[in-house]
């Protein structure tokens, strides 16, 4: 096995920050090796808007060949309460609406939990906490509903991601409302 080609030194010891060169050496991504896949996150808040969020996240994950991270947004913890683990009943209840679609798509998935802050964290503080959970799992893309819960809608999360410097946030349009019953004909 040969050593990877060395990168010529830059003048004055400078390094390229935004270079087009991959962070993974070419000898690692050759035959028999694959590049690591960063998960695509879907933010689920136990709302009807979770369906288009999951659909968009599945399309992105499938196109990238990446796993799916299903982040369940839960209410604030009571003082002294222990955070719920990702396999708890409360998380399964929030993620439950998405699981049939994920199973049909055949995409690998992992659940995660985000508890909303108890105090007044502010609009961007709440969104920053959500981004912290996604980054802890190595996500490169988040899919959030445009009409998400207060302080966690796509516009707010995009603002927080822009200030933080990532990850990329995609907005999913909410489901259009359709009446369940046809209106009565006029006489």
CATH number of 40-172: 3.40.50.620
Distance separating alpha carbons of residues 46 and 98, to the nearest angstrom = 10
Do 43 and 151 contact (CB within 8 A), yes or no? no
More confident residue, 5 or 104: 104
Q: Determine phi and psi for 127, rounding to 5 degrees.
A: -65, -35
pLDDT at 102: 92
Q: For the residues 158-177, what does the mean pLDDT come to?
A: 89
Q: In the structure, what pLDDT confidence band is assigned to residue 30 with cuts at 50, 70 and 90?
A: very low
Above 60 in pLDDT, residue 12? no
In which residue are the tokens 């959970």 written?
133
Token pair recorded at residue 1: 């096995």
Domain ranges of the chain: 40-172
């Amino acid at each position: 096995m040969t050593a990877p080609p060395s990168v010529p030194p830059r003048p004055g010891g400078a390094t390229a920050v935004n270079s087009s060169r991959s962070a993974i050496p070419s000898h690692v991504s050759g035959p028999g090796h694959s590049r690591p896949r960063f998960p695509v996150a879907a933010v689920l808040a136990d709302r009807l808007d979770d369906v288009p969020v999951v659909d968009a996240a599945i399309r992105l994950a499938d196109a990238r060949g990446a796993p799916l991270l299903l982040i369940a947004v839960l209410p604030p913890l009571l003082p002294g309460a222990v955070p719920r683990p990702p396999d708890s009943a409360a998380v399964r209840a929030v993620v439950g609406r998405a699981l049939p679609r994920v199973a049909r798509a055949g995409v690998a998935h992992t659940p995660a939990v985000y508890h909303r802050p108890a105090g007044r964290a502010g609009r961007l503080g709440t969104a920053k906490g959500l981004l912290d959970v996604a980054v802890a799992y190595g996500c490169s893309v988040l899919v959030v509903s445009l009409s998400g819960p207060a302080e966690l809608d796509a516009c707010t999360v995009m603002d927080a991601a822009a200030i933080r410097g990532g990850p990329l946030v995609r907005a999913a349009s909410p489901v259009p409302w359709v009446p369940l019953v046809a209106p009565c004909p006029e006489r």
